[in-house]
């Protein structure tokens, strides 16, 4: 019996992985057993299947159901040569050049096998944490330099310490799995490919701050992640990894996965808490900080999936092992998500400090369309549009902020030379208008005005006057919005106007300008 | 294809009651109702208000805040098309326009034959395989016009 690994990650399924798995079974039962895994994150090669051979796993991809006869003829079950043969996956340059700490197991293990998880180093972090005081755990996370991966980059250990020191009978750990930023999918990959790591990270967080209950708020656009996460919670509970006495340590931690309902703003932490409480996802004013008055008014640590999923590594290998990676105040690894018009899109985990150019050229290999790259947007829908002249900026929170951009959740979306930045600026306003929670006027009304004014600019009506209007509007939104939804929408707009001014002149003049 | 039961306020009330004792249960309730009946009938508003000890206005406010919750049945298949930036960079805007012309519907519309409801979404986390869609929870990537034609044909079969 030969084992074949076929990903069940949503992106692999989107490329036909389920059909490939069915076709393999139809042709090869009873000679093979299929193990479904997460994805390695080399999405142009999906569905990428791996065969267990005496020399290790051998990958083939992208495999279509129609390739299976020729794969059999090539003796792929013994690693035979074939046009689609990729060799050992860990030797594929795209993977070999990465530093996979958080994504070490993703694509390797069966996401719902706790045995597999343990065999690959899982639960070593929690075991260490169980033997420690909450304060020591918090200090260790602080020393690792881990900063929140949800966008704001706030030091995780400092947030935990605030929750830890708060006095209350009940405290909560809330995992922000809303992953609303376009161009991002790392949270999804963790939940579909290595869910026990997130459970372990949240349990460690619970021990650190003294919280006994956790929620994972997952966006409804991720039905597969929700299913896998929910089943993993059931399994962990059955195995005693969650429950009234975690692994018999005498301390409780239980978890529940909750589904969002299609609102981008519910990724903002206070809106998320409102939603978890069963209300409209309207942003709360801060203070009070959620760390002190969060879910149901009680002390709550709200953290992104990747922040929590990185904690087991820190506990298992030590704070210094993690802090040794990175640059400046950005310690550890950044999980870059490369997407859009790119030849080799995927998940790239590397130490902070790699340049944007290395990501899109060396890893990405240029556009999928074969045309020149004209712009990239980094950091989701509230991130800046940048031209080629900024590509040598290192991926680091401070370096990006210095150039009026943001790393955000690490998504990079690539556009070729057919992109129209005026249309992209208009979309930024349109998105804000559609997804604003409505609490404050600069955002709610400003975004609608922004769309109208961009329409005039695109139509060539009073362009100079309307450009000034957009600039003023952006200033108001930046200064007077309650949260970063309205406050950062000007970033894509202003960056597009600053770096691509030629796209904002009337169409006939544009041609003349070229 | 998802299949739904005809709306029944009695059964819906039982669903609401099954969440008794769970904190902040409004969203899980609404998801369970919509999964069973395909939409949320406003008859449930007073029932939920009573169960959750909130005002009717608050329940109504919650239902209408979220893009997911509908007040009418969708078509036999729901196609969620990603309108966000990575998909735009691969021609999603033109592709969506084409699809809407073929189907004779706009966003949120249902085809006359009741086969397809078209919904906009902002990112499905399939951004390296753009343009992307979810067809009744089944992810589809690298969409082009022939893939769209096949999707429509399958939905109508
Ligand atoms: C409009 C808006 C959307 C956001 N969306 C997300 C999201 O989808 N996921 C996330 O983790 N954080 C998101 N955030 C950031 C959260 O408010 C919060 O900073 C984060 O969950 C804290 O976790 P961290 O410290 O681990 O990063 C968003 C913020 C804003 C203003
Ligand atoms: S900026 Fe927008 S999303 Fe944020 S609180 Fe104000 S209206 Fe709501
Ligand atoms: S932007 Fe379309 S799937 Fe992410």
ipTM: 0.97
Contact B85 A44 (CB under 8 A): no
Q: Looking at the structure, tell me whether residues B18 and B39 fall in a common domain.
A: yes
- Span from the CA of A267 to the centroid of ligand 1 (angstroms): 5
Note whether A12 and A47 are within 8 A (CB): yes
Answer whether residue B3 is part of any domain: no
Is residue A81 classed exposed, middle or buried when 0-12, 13-18 and 19+ CB atoms within 10 A define those classes?
A: exposed
Contact A416 B89 (CB under 8 A): yes
Specify the fold of A326-416: Ubiquitin-like (UB roll) (3.10.20)
Q: Looking at the structure, tell me whether residues B129 and B105 fall in a common domain.
A: yes
Q: Cis omega (within 30 of 0) on the bond before A171?
A: no
Residue B125's closest chain A neighbor by CA? A185
How far is CA A93 from its chain centroid? 22
Contact B122 A435 (CB under 8 A): yes
Q: In what order do the strands lie in the sheet with A172-177?
A: A254-259, A213-218, A172-177, A300-304
Q: Which of A258, A368, A381 is closest, CB to CB, to B27? A: A258
Residue owning tokens 């893939």? B147
- DSSP alpha helices (H): ranges in A121-250? 124-130, 134-144, 156-165, 186-193, 195-209, 223-238
Answer whether residue B126 is part of any domain: yes
Residue ID of nearest Cα to ligand 1 atom 12: A150
Note whether A462 and A352 are within 8 A (CB): no
Residue of A438, A474, A477, A488 best suited for mutating to test ligand 2, as the one with most atoms within 8 Å of CB: A438
- The domains of chain A are located at 2-96, 114-323, 326-416, 421-513
Q: Looking at the structure, tell me whether residues B89 and B50 fall in a common domain.
A: no
Contacts of B126 (CB under 8 A, 6+ apart): A10, A11, A14, A185, B82, B132, B139, B141
Answer whether residue B1 is part of any domain: no
Q: Looking at the structure, tell me whether residues B43 and B90 fall in a common domain.
A: no
Q: What is the pLDDT along chain A (514 residues), one digit of tens a residue?
A: 899 999 999 999 999 999 999 999 999 888 899 999 999 999 999 999 999 999 999 999 999 999 999 999 999 999 999 999 999 999 999 999 999 999 999 999 999 999 999 999 999 999 999 999 999 999 999 999 999 999 999 999 999 999 999 999 999 999 999 999 999 999 999 999 999 999 999 999 999 999 999 999 999 999 999 999 999 999 999 999 999 999 999 999 999 999 999 999 999 999 999 999 999 999 999 999 999 999 999 999 999 999 999 999 999 999 999 999 999 999 999 999 999 999 999 999 999 999 999 999 999 999 999 999 999 999 999 999 999 999 999 999 999 999 999 999 999 999 999 999 999 999 999 999 999 999 999 999 999 999 999 999 999 999 999 999 999 999 999 999 999 999 999 999 999 999 999 999 876 666 555 4
CA distances from B42 to A133, B26, B62, B67, B108 (A): 51, 14, 12, 16, 19
Contact A279 B132 (CB under 8 A): no
- With CA atoms as reference, report the closest residue to A146 among A208, A90, A191: A208
Domain hosting B143: range is 77-156
- With CA atoms as reference, report the closest residue to A448 among A461, A464, A435: A435
Q: Looking at the structure, tell me whether residues B93 and B128 fall in a common domain.
A: yes
Answer whether residue B25 is part of any domain: yes
Helix (H, G, I), strand (E, B) or coil at A248: helix
Q: Looking at the structure, tell me whether residues B87 and B141 fall in a common domain.
A: yes
What is the DSSP secondary-structure string of A466-493?
Answer: HHHHHHHHHHHHHHH-SSHHHHHTHHHH
CA atoms within 13 A on the CB side of B53: 6
Note whether A385 and A377 are within 8 A (CB): yes
Domains identified in chain B, total number: 2
Contacts of B116 (CB under 8 A, 6+ apart): B75, B76, B77, B78, B79, B103, B105, B110, B152, B155, B156
**Cα dihedral value A182, A187, A190, A193, nearest 10:** -30
Tell me which architecture the domain covering A421-513 has in CATH: Up-down Bundle (1.20)
Class of the domain covering A114-323: alpha beta
Q: Looking at the structure, tell me whether residues B55 and B81 fall in a common domain.
A: no
* B→A interface, C-beta within 8 Å: 23-28, 30-31, 52, 54, 58, 61-62, 65-69, 80, 84-90, 121-130, 132, 134, 137-142
Q: Looking at the structure, tell me whether residues B150 and B92 fall in a common domain.
A: yes
Q: Does domain A2-96 have CATH number 3.40.30.10?
A: yes
Answer whether residue B72 is part of any domain: no
Q: Looking at the structure, tell me whether residues B57 and B101 fall in a common domain.
A: no
């Amino acid at each position: 019996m030969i084992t074949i690994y076929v990903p069940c990650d949503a992106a692999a399924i989107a490329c036909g992985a389920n059909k490939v798995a069915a076709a393999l079974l139809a042709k090869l039962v009873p000679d093979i057993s299929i193990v479904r895994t997460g994805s390695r994150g080399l999405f142009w090669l999906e569905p990428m299947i791996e065969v267990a051979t005496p020399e290790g796993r051998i990958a083939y991809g992208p495999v279509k159901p129609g390739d299976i006869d020729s794969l059999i003829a090539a003796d792929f079950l013994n690693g035979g040569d074939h046009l689609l043969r990729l060799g050992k996956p860990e030797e594929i340059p795209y993977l070999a050049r990465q530093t996979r700490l958080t994504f070490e197991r993703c694509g390797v293990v069966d996401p719902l096998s706790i045995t597999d998880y343990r065999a690959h180093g899982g639960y070593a972090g929690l075991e260490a944490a169980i033997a420690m005081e909450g304060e020591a755990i918090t200090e260790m996370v602080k020393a690792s330099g881990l900063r929140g991966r949800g966008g704001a980059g706030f030091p995780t250990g400092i947030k935990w310490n605030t929750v830890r020191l708060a006095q209350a009978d009940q405290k909560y750990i809330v995992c922000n799995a809303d992953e609303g930023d376009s161009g991002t999918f790392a949270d999804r990959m963790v939940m579909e490919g290595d869910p026990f790591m997130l459970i372990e990270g949240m349990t460690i967080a619970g021990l650190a701050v003294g919280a006994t209950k956790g929620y994972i708020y997952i966006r409804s656009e991720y039905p597969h992640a929700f299913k896998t996460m929910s089943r993993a919670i059931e399994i962990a509970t059955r195995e005693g990894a969650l429950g009234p006495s975690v692994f018999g340590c005498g301390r409780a931690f239980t978890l529940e996965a909750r589904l969002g309902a299609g609102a981008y703003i519910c990724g903002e932490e206070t809106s998320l808490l409102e939603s978890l409480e069963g209300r409209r996802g309207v942003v709360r004013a801060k203070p009070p900080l959620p760390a002190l008055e969060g879910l149901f008014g009680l002390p709550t640590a709200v953290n992104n999936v990747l922040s929590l999923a990185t904690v087991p590594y820190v506990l298992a290998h030590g704070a210094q092992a993690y802090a040794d990676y990175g640059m400046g105040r950005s310690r550890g690894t950044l999980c870059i998500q490369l997407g859009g018009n790119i030849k080799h899109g995927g998940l790239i985990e590397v130490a902070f400090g790699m340049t944007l150019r290395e990501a899109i050229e060396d890893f990405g290999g240029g556009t999928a369309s074969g045309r020149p790259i004209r712009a990239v947007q980094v950091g989701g829908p509230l991130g800046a549009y940048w031209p080629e002249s900024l590509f040598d900026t290192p991926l680091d929170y401070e370096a990006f902020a210095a150039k009026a951009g943001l790393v955000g959740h690490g998504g990079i979306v690539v556009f070729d030379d057919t992109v129209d930045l005026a249309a992209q600026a208009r979309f930024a306003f349109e998105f804000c208008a559609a997804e604003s929670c409505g609490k404050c006027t600069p955002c709610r009304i400003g975004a609608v005005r922004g769309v109208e004014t961009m329409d005039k600019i695109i139509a060539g009506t009073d362009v100079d006057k309307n450009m000034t209007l957009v600039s003023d509007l952006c200033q108001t939104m930046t200064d007077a919005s309650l949260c970063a939804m309205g406050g950062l929408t000007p970033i894509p707009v202003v960056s597009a106007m600053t770096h691509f001014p030629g796209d904002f002149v009337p169409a006939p003049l544009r041609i003349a300008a070229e | 294809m998802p299949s739904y039961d005809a709306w029944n306020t009695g059964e819906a009330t039982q669903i609401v009651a099954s969440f008794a004792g769970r904190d902040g249960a409004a969203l899980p309730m609404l998801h369970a109702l919509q999964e069973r009946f395909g939409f949320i009938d406003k008859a449930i508003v007073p029932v939920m208000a009573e169960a959750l000890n909130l005002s009717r206005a608050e329940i109504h406010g919650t239902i209408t805040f979220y893009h997911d919750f509908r007040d009418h049945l969708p078509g036999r298949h729901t196609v969620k098309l990603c309108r966000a930036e990575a998909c735009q960079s691969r021609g999603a805007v033109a592709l969506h326009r084409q699809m809407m012309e073929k189907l004779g519907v706009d966003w949120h519309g249902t085809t006359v034959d009741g086969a397809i409801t078209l919904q906009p979404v902002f990112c499905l986390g399939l951004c390296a395989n753009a343009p992307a869609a979810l067809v009744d929870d089944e992810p589809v990537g690298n969409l082009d016009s022939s893939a769209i034609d096949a999707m429509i044909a399958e939905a109508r079969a």
